Amino acid sequence: MRSMILDWRGRPDLSKRGDFYSVGPYFFAMPVIGNPKGRVLVAMSSTILCDPNGQPSNREFNFELYHKAVKRKATTDRVVWKGDSGWHTKLLDLTRPGMVDDFLELIHGYFRWADGIHLDYASAWSWQFKDLAPTDAAWDDALVALLKGVRAQGKLALAQQWHLTKPVLAASGAFLEQSPTSFGRTLTAHTADIRKFREQAKDRETLFVAELREPAKFPKDYVNAMTEWAAREDVVLSFGRDAHAGV
């Protein structure tokens, strides 16, 4: 069974030898040293990170993305995520002409060393904001263009969440958040989706990752069942941010 080490806040724990790493977009040089086996994906979303006062974070990639969005009139006031400290993200309007190309240019400039991009909220914006569905197909088309553009750079494009939507079908595969049976999903449904995806993907490399967040809180039989399923279906297993799980 293959594994992914997920750490979006700090440098990955080099004592753990993962097949894949998912790291935050704050490293502009290869963050994993001395592990020729692991492949590194940079986690991000088509949003702008803002401080509690609503100002964009001055972290280089985010700040430059924000200024390109201002130029393209692609900033919005839609809050996608908000933490307890007041930090939050705002939706980036990728439908604005030239915005997808700007995003891809920044990915190439900052993360050309990376093996892939792990794009959160990639399955479609319509499930998050109902007014964007079902008529505004331009939002889905923009995500498709972004994911295909990532793949055109020779990178894996890992789409989060699990929905098998038009954007996800344009990616390399999907990241199943929390656990394979979260959000009312079943292993049977996931298995059918994964096989359908791989059939349409034909010869291109695919990647499916299932998170098993905080495995110590699950019954041992459940963890064993998820592990066996992942191995059987060639799904990479991630133990979330637990620094000791699965080691």
Q: Quick one: 239 exposed, middle or buried, by C-beta within 10 A (0-12, 13-18, 19+)?
A: buried
Residues 6+ apart with CB under 8 A from 48: 56, 62, 65, 66, 69, 75, 89, 90, 92
- Binning pLDDT at 50, 70 and 90, where does residue 35 land? low
Considering the chain, what is the average pLDDT of its residues? Answer: 89
Q: Are 89 and 51 in contact (CB under 8 A)?
A: no
pLDDT at 207: 98
Which parts of the chain fold into alpha helices (H)?
60-72, 99-111, 137-152, 166-169, 187-201, 220-232
**Per-residue pLDDT averaged across 26-44, rounded?**
77
CB 236 within 8 A of CB 20: yes
How far is residue 84's CA from residue 52's CA, in Å, rounded to a whole number? 10
Place of tokens 């995520």: 81
pLDDT score, position 239: 83
Tell me the per-residue pLDDT of 123-171, one tens digit each, with 9 for 90 and over: 888 777 878 766 678 999 999 999 999 999 999 999 998 888 999 999 9
Task: Name the percent of the chain lying above pLDDT 70.
Answer: 90
Res 15: pLDDT: 61
Mean pLDDT of 102-119: 96
Burial class (CB in 10 A: 0-12, 13-18, 19+), 114: buried
CA distance 137 to 161: 18
Write the Ramachandran bin of 214: left for phi over 0, alpha for psi from -120 to 50, otherwise beta: left
Q: How far apart are CA 40 and CA 62, in angstroms?
A: 19
Question: How many angstroms separate the CA atoms of 2 and 120, rounded?
Answer: 21
State both tokens at 39: 């492949």
Amino acid, res. 67: H
Tell me the whole-structure pTM to 2 decimals.
0.92
Gap between the Cα atoms of 211 and 189, Å rounded: 16
pLDDT at 175 over 80: yes
Domains within the chain, CATH numbers bracketed: 3-46+94-238 (3.20.20)
| pLDDT at residue 227 is higher than 80 | yes
Percent of the chain with pLDDT over 90: 68
* Nearest partner of 122 among 100, 104, 140, judged by Cα: 140
Question: Rounded to whole angstroms, how far apart are CA atoms 183 and 162?
Answer: 9
| Contact assessment for residue 165 and residue 128, using Cβ atoms and an 8 Å cutoff | no
Query: What confidence score (pLDDT) does residue 11 get?
Result: 62
Classified as helix, coil or strand, 195 is: helix
